[in-house]
Amino acid sequence: MAIELKPFSWQRMIEAVQAVRDRALRATAALEKAGIPYAVAGGNAVAAWVARVDRAAVRNTQDVDILVRRSDLPAIATALEGVGFVHASVMGVECFLDGPQGSPRDAIHLLFANEKVRDSYPLPTADVTEQVAADDYKIVTLEALVRMKLNSYRDKDRTHLRDLVTLGLIDASWLPRLVPEHAARLQQLIDDPDG
């Protein structure tokens, strides 16, 4: 299958970042209005923490991960569908597409608080109470974010963790408060920050 290459465009790159921001703000505003506890997690949470140190180190991500309680799913669906999102379950992930033609790639992805995403993970996700307020929405605390990234430990998670290490947001002083598997993973990243 041939792909269609469009012209190079700063505008399209800017619009892609703006679309993620707008999607996150629309979703979190709907959750706030409905009184549903949540915290932005994943790559957007990493970007928010990184930007506090060095905005030039921020990496963009296309989807928006939001930590919520599973028991709130009916209320979440009502709130998000009320602002144009469409509920879907894609490969076992509850998500909200940005409209009927939306893609799972740039959807709102739900992470359920205090649950393991995969049985093999050492720990469950954080609780929605592990959050801090940003200008526009609530974000998981740095400690919760680091635990969740060390849990999943995919290539992109290791990249995010390296960013946090390189900027001094996390370091060897974190090792004693981590479970052994997480501590070993963080030590690897500290020992080899360039991967």
Q: Count the domains in the chain.
A: 1
Domain for residue 44, yes or no?
yes
Is 0.75 topped by the overall pTM? yes
Distance CA 174, CA 190 (A): 11
pLDDT of the residue at 73: 97
> What is the pLDDT, as a whole number, of residue 161?
97
Residue 92 has a pLDDT of: 84
Integer angstrom CA distances of residue 115 from 18, 110, 123: 31, 12, 8
Whether 13 is in a domain gets the answer no
Residue 73 located in a structural domain: yes
Residue 51 structural domain: 21-191
What pLDDT score does 55 carry?
A: 93
The pair of three-digit structure tokens given for residue 192, joined into one six-digit string: 């080899």
What is the per-residue pLDDT across 125-181, written as a single tens digit (0 to 9) for each? 999 999 999 988 999 999 999 999 999 999 999 999 999 999 999 999 999 999 999
CATH number where 169 lies: 3.30.460.40
Contact predicate 138/38, CB 8 Å: yes
pLDDT at 146: 98
In a domain, 9, yes or no: no
Count of positions (residues) in the chain: 195
Local mean pLDDT, 10-residue blocks, the chain (195 residues)? 89 91 96 98 96 94 95 98 95 92 92 94 96 94 98 96 96 97 96 84
Query: Is the residue at 186 inside a domain?
Result: yes
| Direct distance between the N- and C-terminal alpha carbons of the chain, in angstroms, rounded to an integer | 33
Residue with tokens 């030039």: 56
Pairing of strands 64-68, 108-112: parallel
